Structure 1
Amino acid sequence: MSTVTGTWKRHRTGRTRATPWTWPLRDRLALTAGLAAPFLVALALVPFRTSLSHTNAALVLVVVVVAVASLGSRTAGVVAALSAAAWFDFFLTRPYETFVINASADIETAVLLLIVGLIVSQLAARARRLEIMTVTDAAHLARIHRTADLVQSANSADTVVDHVRGELTELLGLRACRFEYGTLLGRPPRLEKDGTVTVGRRIWNPDTDGWPEGEIELRAYGNGHYLGRFMLAPGPGAVPALQARLVAVTLADQTGAALDTSGPVGG
């Protein structure tokens, strides 16, 4: 990730890409904590530095690194590990309040603190991502189940279409979403079954290229027949992960099933 700047970086597609200023609040707070928390803890240990072993002091700082990485991103964990090693050197090893270490044992401890801090920060960040992924998977599954239940119980396809429009807007972070029934007009970018996007004859990878400009169509089919399409207007945030885009395709397929059963959407 890039260093903190006060500017937006513009992608070659013309859409803006997020810098650390635009990260989620939790990640920004974790990055700040990664810089400040090791400093404050090392400073708090100064009165005890003659009686506290360097190993124990290093372990305390490792706990701080783990806490930061667990709450924030991988980047925050790395920053915390570097900060912990620097302030351990500055406050807790002789000569004090310099970034110089005389004793070889202290050098080893500082290096081990950095290495262990980096390793555990990555493990903690990975554990957090796995937890988020599990929660996200459950949310995706709930969307699919809600829509499937509605397809079975709704009296008209309009109800399903309106429901899926709302689900797609939330799922993909859309600025707007509308549904068109009938003949295909124009050749807008299209969200495909595999979660990629085609622009004309070219394959467009949203994960690396961002969303293409303009509305993106997501087609709904029933029994292999085209029945309508959702027109997606992407919002200003990051492109949703592949998993979310595949869920969107599933929701469109469920809409197609409802249209095939109940008939076209009214007006």
Structure 2
Amino acid sequence: MRRQVGRDHIAIVAAVVAPFVVAVALVPVRASISGANLALVLVTVVVAVATSGNRPAGALAALSAAVWFVFFLTQPYQHFTIATRTDILTAVLLLAVGLAVSQLAARARRLHLVTVTDAQQLALIHRITQLVQSGTAPNLVVEQARTGLVELLHLRECRFEFGKLLGRPPRLHADGSVTPRPAHPPTAQDALPDDETELRVSAGGRYYGRFMLRATPDQPVPLQARIVAVTLADQVGSAFDAARTAQPRR
């Protein structure tokens, strides 16, 4: 998370500085290159910023590119005025195209991040499922699932209670929803309650225990991540059920 924030801050700085630097670099050749081609060069800068940064950075880069295009690359030079209708149209198109392209680039970047997150979640489910299918001891499956839940839900703490069902803490259900305790304030759509939330582990009609999840304050927990968490708990239940079934044979 900190790395992402740092990256976005760098993108904001680049959105202001990069179009300025490129516009200055084009000054020596501005007389021999058409305004449309100069604008296209600045559009590529906008795309680069939007792809590596976020949507605000892309929009800021588009605005910065249009401003420095007018100042450095249209006559009269070094003035925020434009002498010809053609240059006015080019400047307007540069801003419009830059904004549109920045939105598309930022959206593509966000979709890529979602894909990576989905792949990580699938890998986590696959790892726990393999442990269960290989007959790994339930306590080891619990530990692996606990570690996975901490990372998946960005938890401060996660512990497992064997066979206990005490109190009425908030509960994470199979559909990813959370039922608050009585008189507890409504839970935000994208965050777990501040108090510990239980995630029950059961299989074959038997209750084996529960994970107690202590959320990080103000940390978003998407619905998809919650459903993956329930899937992990189901796999842990399967591990307990398999061990119970195999015990009489031994």
Q: TM-score, normalised by structure 1?
A: 0.83
| Matched residue, 2:176 | 195
Picking from 191, 212, 234, the partner of 2:215 is 234
Separation in 1, partners of 2:31, 2:219: 49
- Whether 2:77 is the aligned partner of 1:96: answer yes
- Whether 2:11 is the aligned partner of 1:26: answer no
Give 1:186's aligned amino acid: G
Separation in 1, partners of 2:217, 2:28: 49
Q: CA shift at 1:190, angstroms?
A: 2.1
**What RMSD over aligned residues (CA atoms) do the two structures have, in Å?**
2.1
| Matched residue, 2:227 | 246
CA deviations over 1:215-262 (Å, ceiling 9, x no partner): 222222212443221111223573132222221111111111112222
| Matched residue, 2:93 | 112
1:1-150 alignment runs, 5 A limit: 24-150=5-131
- Whether 2:146 is the aligned partner of 1:165: answer yes
- Residue 236 and residue 35 in structure 1: after superposition, are their counterparts in 2 closer, same or farther (change >3 A)? farther
Separation in 2, partners of 1:228, 1:111: 63
Secondary structure, in 3 states, of the residue corresponding to 1:213? coil
Contact 1:196 1:203 in 2 (8 A): no
CA deviations over 1:136-195 (Å, ceiling 9, x no partner): 222111111110010122442101000000111111221111011223222222222222
Structure 2 unmatched ranges of 5 or more: 245-250
- Whether 2:155 is the aligned partner of 1:174: answer yes
Contact 2:23 2:72 in 1 (8 A): yes
Which stretch has the larger CA shift, 107-116 or 86-95?
86-95
Separation in 2, partners of 1:82, 1:233: 43
Q: CA shift at 1:41, angstroms?
A: 0.9
Separation in 2, partners of 1:239, 1:80: 28
| Matched residue, 2:196 | 215
Which stretch has the larger CA shift, 219-228 or 102-111?
219-228
Secondary structure, in 3 states, of the residue corresponding to 1:37? helix
Secondary structure, in 3 states, of the residue corresponding to 2:235? helix
Contact 1:197 1:205 in 2 (8 A): no
Separation in 2, partners of 1:31, 1:197: 37
- Residue 139 and residue 22 in structure 1: after superposition, are their counterparts in 2 closer, same or farther (change >3 A)? closer
Q: How many residues align?
A: 242
Separation in 2, partners of 1:163, 1:245: 17
Q: Is the radius of gyration larger for structure 1 or structure 2?
A: 2
Give 2:82's aligned amino acid: I
Separation in 2, partners of 1:191, 1:218: 5
